[in-house]
Chain A
């Protein structure tokens, strides 16, 4: 029994011992919980291990996983980042950590970090897959340098990947790295024994030709063509050599292929083309002659084109017979049409018109425009004319015709613009000169035209040049020269002479106009040419000679002749006769009112006042207004002052005279009859108290020199409270005009006494006192401040005091015991400190004010003042206070955003600037710095719209400082437009060669863009 008991006890002890050994210890517990999917417990256990200093992979990896399961990706990233930062690179767990980080960055959409981490990973594990992925991502995100680097690595690891070699070669070529591109493509081609893709061959050949390595290009091309190049690829390679001015090499390359009797027609045609390019025309013609006319549709156009190229027009017409003309290139069709036209082959022309229809017209827009004009379709004519003008290949005659058509289509402005753009240098054929001269004239370009034709006549004299010049010179050239030319050419077309006469008369070149008109009248004596002669005589100041012609035509001449006749009389000084002529016409009656008016004015012009007076007097009484003044003027000039004054006085007594009329009459009486006669009337009117008489009365007193009487009158009115304040204010200024500043100031002080600092009267006073009022004035303001009945009013007065140069008084008064406690008084105190530039005190005052102040506009002012005095901290507090009261305040969001950016608080900067830009398009700085904040946070794609908007805004600025230009350059850089940025930086650098910061920024931009050579150049500049 004892033994049994002992056995049981021993077994129990062994059992307990074994059990104790089986209880999991700390490090095992976590793993066990993890495996049991008891994540909360597992996480707690792993965190305890981590806190206890176990930062090994065995703790960090599962803990990361647990954080992810809990949705805490940022925490997981932080943990893994700390892990890789601690872990030696040589450890396998470092690479594993990086791998995990990669995934985490991508899943958290931190693409900048993701790319950087990929780079590290690729370095650690330089596999083709890693570099391929890196290149793809960098390329998609527009990081070209990084893409090239990764592709280089990839291509070194995978030289067999021909597509990648091609991709890298293309990319290198696009970045100007031609030598490396050639080297890599060449190596790839060598490796593939010439079997690289056609695109790669084409690129390699192009790059070799660029480098002047035509021989090498030829050698490779020969290998490719011999190997497997298709007809299309072969033609492409040959074309490249031909385009590089080596058609001889192309011919040589192709010759072996020509030995094959079954060679494709395309190769034969290419060969002929190359022979033509190599100037071996005879051989080309011979081969063309040997070709059959019946070729397939695809080759027809090419064959005809080659025939036209070597001058085989007739052969081309034969080849095209019975074939679809649409298959032939347009230029060849035009050549065929010309051939047919030359050879009067109407059947071909008919066929072309019939079969090509609109297509032909589309190619001949001038013809199309002419047809449109003929059909009255000005819109279509204008459109076709523009098409013609846009086609630089058309001859000048066609362009001139198009300009004319545009003008005829009613588009004068567009026609003139198009004309100005025409290239008129070089030798132009004579046949275009007449039309050219006509356009210079019709489009108001006569002066330019004269100069052009003068040059032309000197360089290449011809009748056509003279005729083109003639009208232009009459309009804007040397009239005497034109007259001499006319003398030297006795037999000229009357129409041309008529043009010259008209143009010269219009210009005022009377001698020339007369000479031309005389020649016209002598050649064709019609009433029209006679009248033209009379006008020319008048213009030539020969009215006596003109008068007989005009008198002879007067009976049937109409208004035009009557006017010229009157002008002739006038020019001869026969005014009485003229006045009689006019008065008789007036008296004859039957005229419309405007005709009567014109004749009256003619009389007045002739100074025949007396005959005009009856009509003027009648209209003055009846209509008043301007007629009254016209009558007054005429009466004065006719010496009928008494009559006028009587009329004025009589009218002033009329009760039905309206206020305006009364004022006019009184003014005139004063003006015409003099102040002495007018004064009694005016004094009486002024006594009525009506303001408008006041002015006239004062005017009369002024004119009579009764200064004392005037001043007394003014002072009395200024002191009369019944007079409206506005008028008293005006009187104060009238007193100033009288040099009575003291009375003026008193008047204004009296006005301002009962009013606040914003009142107009106080403002007048400040104007009177000027920007630095005298001490007495400051005393007065300070007195008003002290006597104010409310803190607000007191603050307002102190504000004015500070503004007007009393800042020190305000600061002293309000800052006796530090900043004033009363909220209303803080504003003027701060303003006063700002005016004195006391930044430190101002900062304290602003900080003490922002807590109390609730008015956002005032807080904004505090912020601005703090900014002005460079108190950034105080400004920030004030802006924050603005934001607290107006959470969407644009200014505050913007300024705080800028401050945050300055302080590298990028998240805050982004939030604030986004808030600001949510309200509107904003300004370029806000958009730019938001872009910068996003870029700095590695979110360049998000930044792009803001850079773009900033760029638009910068470019819209009318004037740009250097700093703005530098910002523009930075924006361009951010948008990948590095070349444009370089242009701006270069311009700036020339302006500011000694600006080291500029140089550094420029170099930094270049380095950032991978343009190391240029960067080195910039840095090495003095």
Chain B
């Protein structure tokens, strides 16, 4: 190459760089795709965000659509929208008239819609009257309804027996079809053809009586109260009438929004398991442990769980969170309870975590704590009757006292006669959170650190408590109690990813623990085996939650509960999963809220601030694939149930994902570059090298994985760590270009995989 040609090439490169850089700079600094939905709630009616209709029922579908929810209490006036730069829309779900002056709200909402924000109005719109019960002129409220293409004709039909739906499309009848007695309804006439009616009810077969109860259009959508969900007060259960996914998808126009996904990793469903320490010290009834001649005092539940559910399943990681009060000698710990913790933490698949120091039951009690406030409980506890000789002879149990073996939810579940399990010394938030984490880190083997707080009690921490976890460099989890089975046959029982607590965020567990299956650990101790129904129903037809086995140490107390637990673990072993530690899931969940997606060209996004979240999902994507030539930092892609799950490379801080077309969804998109289809482990730092590649990997159990490679032929696969080869093998790749291997090497400590083509 001559000097001249080199200079010419440099000049071309400089010109190209000049042309490209402003674009890149624009993209990097561009405005993120708005993902936040502002929920207006009235806490005078619903008390706390945790119990609002929007949080308990609407937020999960919104999360599934890639949206986050910020809450505003309308009792504090109307929010200043400039405080929410990332706003996509507004959702309301009132049951009454929350505004002192609805005219202000109507003006505020109109201005927001003029700004392009879309509104999802569920239930009552809140514009028919003032909060003091005074009605307002229809002309005013109709200004609001006109934004949804409707006019309120000031009528209400409570005798619905002559009414029938004449339009009822796919948005209606999601979990409950319109059968039986129709709920009463107001009369809404459609006045704007741009809006689509999804539910129209007609009386006496007369078209003139048509009322439009579910509509969507350019400004959002409206679903009238009574037709959003069916609620049975007797059973205290709800069923969606409206299809919340389809409704919110239409209202907030989410089809083009990449969905940060917390359910999937490396193309597989995430699995994690975590144990709260309650019942750690309980003596087991399980045979043969209850007849252990070497242990006169009885084997404790923690040891039974270790042997039956943890050591027997070395391929399934588990996070174990004891209570310091149960193990520390200065509190109620014994050599046996401490030893149980040490033995558990020593297992490679176990992650240490904290269930706090003294196990608060009712967190709100401690938000404004004083020792004097608690003293009354201490006295009551000391007054509690002790177990006498006659009780022992007759096998009678007296009420549990603090520090008794039945500590935890078992002691007084549901009624919490005392504010925390160990209340001999004053409550200290730093000790509960940071102190307990440090305690278990010290107790764990070198290299293991407790970085997760599993909320005990009512799992309703106040903001300072959540902030304390962040201050301690840890994540937090618990609450939510997801169920979706015959007993709870509705996604209204599937909670969102987490809950805003002041400026902090509480992350919910993936599934409910055994409490809700055992009537709060009072009977049917086998009930936890029904977990598999929720696991299955939250995977198909939509994957809504990871596979999470969450329980307490007292599961080791009963034969039935141990059997149920083992069945669940066996089901996990059979499932196609990507197991992670509970703290990893909490970090992924935190990433969901932080992720920003910067548009960077046609169907192309730069992913920023995603933290530990490494999957993006695109729905209705059977004929969509990642355009790897226009993407960076993408490890893999997989179609599942009509969606495309894209695996991002954790080693790349700001990956770029671009989409293209795919001919069919039942085959891997053909690409001239290796990519991951699915795998049990987590992968990072993919480097393509000719037809082969190398990639870092970490995970639990045998490393089953499928890669798409550009050429058929024979491939050599090696697993290495620190230059030493741990495992090697060869695999044939056929016309489907799928390289399937199961790497038989321990990958709890990260290793490197090398794949190269050895023959055609």
Binding site for B on A (CB under 8 A): 37, 39-40, 68-73, 106-111, 136-137, 139-140, 142, 144, 147, 170-171, 173-174, 199, 202-203, 206-207, 210, 326-327, 329-330, 356, 358-359, 362-363, 386-387, 390-391, 855-857, 886, 890, 914, 917-921, 939, 941-942, 944-946, 948-949, 951-952, 975-977, 979
Contact = CB atoms under 8 A, between A and B. Distances in A.
Given A142-B176, A202-B158, A362 B142 contact: yes
A142 B181 CA distance: 11
Nearest to B154: A329
A308 to B, nearest CB: 16
Contacts of A68: 524, 526, 560
Given A140-B232, A171-B181, 6 more contacts: A106-B487, A139-B180, A390-B190, A856-B736, A921-B641, A979-B164
Contacts of A147: 180
Q: State the 10 A-B residue pairs at the shortest beta-carbon distance, nearest first.
A: A71-B563, A976-B177, A71-B560, A173-B161, A390-B191, A109-B486, A71-B526, A326-B137, A941-B489, A111-B486
A206 B162 CA distance: 10
Contacts of B640: 918-919
Contact of A144 (B179, B237, B485, B541): B179
Interface in B449-501: 485-487, 489
A866 B232 CA distance: 52
Nearest to B623: A920
A330 B151 CA distance: 12
B192 interface: yes
Nearest to A951: B170
Nearest to B567: A71
Given A147-B180, A975-B173, A136 B235 contact: yes
A166 to B, nearest CB: 11
16 contacts: A70-B560, A71-B560, A107-B527, A111-B487, A139-B232, A142-B179, A206-B161, A327-B137, A362-B146, A386-B192, A390-B193, A917-B641, A918-B540, A920-B639, A939-B486, A952-B170
B256 interface: no
Contacts of B143: 358-359, 362
Contacts of A358: 143
Interface stretch (B377-385, B529-537, B652-660): B529-537
A69 B559 contact: yes
B368 interface: no
A948 B526 contact: no
A73 B529 contact: yes
B146 A71 contact: no
Contacts of A140: 232, 235, 237, 239
A102 to B, nearest CB: 13
Nearest to A946: B541
A945 B562 CA distance: 33
B43 interface: no
B641 A387 contact: no
B65 interface: no
Most buried by A among B136, B486, B487: B486
Nearest to B230: A140
Given A71-B529, A920-B641, A920-B642, A109 B485 contact: yes
Contact of B666 (A359, A855, A920): A920
Contacts of A856: 736
Q: Is the interface of A mostly helix, strand, loop or mixed?
A: helix
Interface in B609-632: 622
B561 interface: yes
Interface in B162-202: 162, 164, 168, 170, 173-182, 190-194
Contacts of B176: 142
Q: Output the residue of A68, A109, A363 with the most chain B CB within 10 A.
A: A109
Interface residues of B, number: 71
Contacts of B193: 386, 390
A872 to B, nearest CB: 24
A952 B285 CA distance: 53
A70 B524 CA distance: 11
Contacts of B138: 329-330
B666 A890 contact: yes
Given A139-B180, A327-B137, A330-B138, A71 B525 contact: yes
A210 B162 CA distance: 10
B529 A948 contact: no
Contacts of B146: 362, 387
B179 A199 contact: no
B112 interface: no
A847 to B, nearest CB: 24
A133 to B, nearest CB: 9
Interface of B: 136-140, 142-143, 146, 149, 158-162, 164, 168, 170, 173-182, 190-194, 232, 234-235, 237, 239, 285, 287, 485-487, 489, 524-527, 529-530, 533, 537, 540-541, 558-564, 567, 622, 639-642, 665-666, 734-736
A40 to B, nearest CB: 5
A170 B158 CA distance: 11
B541 A949 contact: yes
A670 to B, nearest CB: 46
B181 A71 contact: no
Contact of B159 (A72, A202, A919, A920): A202
Contacts of B562: 71
A831 B90 CA distance: 62
A944 to B, nearest CB: 7
B541 A945 contact: yes
B563 A70 contact: yes
Nearest to A140: B232
B559 A174 contact: no
Nearest to B177: A976
Nearest to A172: B161
Contacts of A39: 287, 559
Contacts of B563: 70-72
A751 B149 CA distance: 71
A1020 B172 CA distance: 35
Nearest to B518: A107
Nearest to A104: B524
Contact of B192 (A136, A174, A387): A387
Contact of A109 (B160, B179, B530): B530
A108 B180 contact: no
Nearest to A202: B159
Contacts of B182: 174
B234 A136 contact: yes
A358 to B, nearest CB: 8
Nearest to A148: B180
Given A71-B564, A362-B139, A918 B641 contact: yes
Contact of A363 (B139, B232, B234): B139
Contacts of B139: 326, 330, 356, 359, 362-363
B627 to A, nearest CB: 20
A945 B542 CA distance: 10
Nearest to B622: A920
Contacts of B168: 977
A939 B533 CA distance: 11
A174 B173 contact: no
Contacts of B181: 170-171, 174
B259 to A, nearest CB: 17
Contacts of A952: 170
Contact of B665 (A173, A387, A919): A919
A375 B246 CA distance: 39
Given A386-B192, A941-B175, A174 B161 contact: yes
B487 to A, nearest CB: 6
Contacts of B136: 326
Contacts of B559: 39, 69-71
A635 to B, nearest CB: 50
Contacts of A137: 235
Nearest to B173: A975
A147 B170 CA distance: 26
Residue in B139, B182, B527 with the greatest tally of chain A CB atoms within 10 Å:
B139
Given A69-B560, A390-B193, A920-B666, A144 B641 contact: no
